[in-house]
Amino acid sequence: MFKIISNENDKLTIKNMQSDEKDVLFYVAKENPVDYFELPFSYDDGEFSILFSDVDIVFQENNLEKGKYGYFYKDINGFNRLDSLQVTTILDKKGKREQKSYFKPLNGIFKTFYPALEFFEYKVTIIMAVYNVEQFLADALNSLIVQSIGFENIQVLLVNDASPDNSKAIAIEYAKNTIILLISKTM
């Protein structure tokens, strides 16, 4: 129903909205419980598209969530008019609190089709080749351990190719740390 936006800076205009999105926007304005204005248009005669044709609208930034294939907005609280526009629209006359109530019924449906994805379970793996690096390996691993303090989802994977220096012994000693794993080739 709603266009997936590649990032929060993209502009979504009525001109490039799909017809069902236009219908939703018209429905919200038409069913508005506030009675201090009359609708200056009707959808059937095309005045709606003329009234809104040059108005850029964007989804509220505070609802931005990262989706698997780009960004989408989990909750629809209404549309914000860009500061640079000179056109006053019906949506400008509404507060964000009122707009949120208009879109509340749609949010339940929207969440059904676009569930929020959680990304904080990913683990970052740092892969280090252990190949004749005896003189630098201890310093490099100490640096990684210090930098990873406070981060639970980091691990270091050491890959030893069985080089003849003392790198393997150093790697085995550091592999006792819970964030460091060692894969060693045997000869």
Give the DSSP letter of residue 165: S
- For the stretch 124-160, pLDDT in tens is 788 888 887 888 888 988 888 888 877 777 888 888 8
Specify whether 100 is located in the same domain as 137.
Answer: no
Specify whether 46 is located in the same domain as 73.
Answer: yes
Q: Which of 44-48, 51-55, 172-176 has the lowest mean pLDDT?
A: 51-55
Specify whether 93 is located in the same domain as 148.
Answer: no
Task: Give the number of other Cβ atoms within 10 Å of residue 174's Cβ.
Answer: 19
- The 10 Å CB-count burial string (b at 16+, else e) for 103-134 is beebeeebeeebeeeeeeeeeeeeebebeebe
pLDDT band at residue 54, thresholds of 50, 70 and 90? very low
Specify whether 108 is located in the same domain as 159.
Answer: no
The total domain count for the chain is 2
Higher pLDDT, 172 or 6: 172
Stated pTM of the model? 0.36
Range of the domain at 93: 12-113
Question: How wide is the angle at C-alpha 185 spanned by C-alphas 180 and 186, nearest 5°?
Answer: 125
Q: Is residue 4 part of a domain?
A: no
Q: Which of 36-50, 79-93, 105-119, 145-159 has the lowest mean pLDDT?
A: 36-50
Question: How wide is the angle at C-alpha 10 spanned by C-alphas 41 and 17, nearest 5°?
Answer: 35
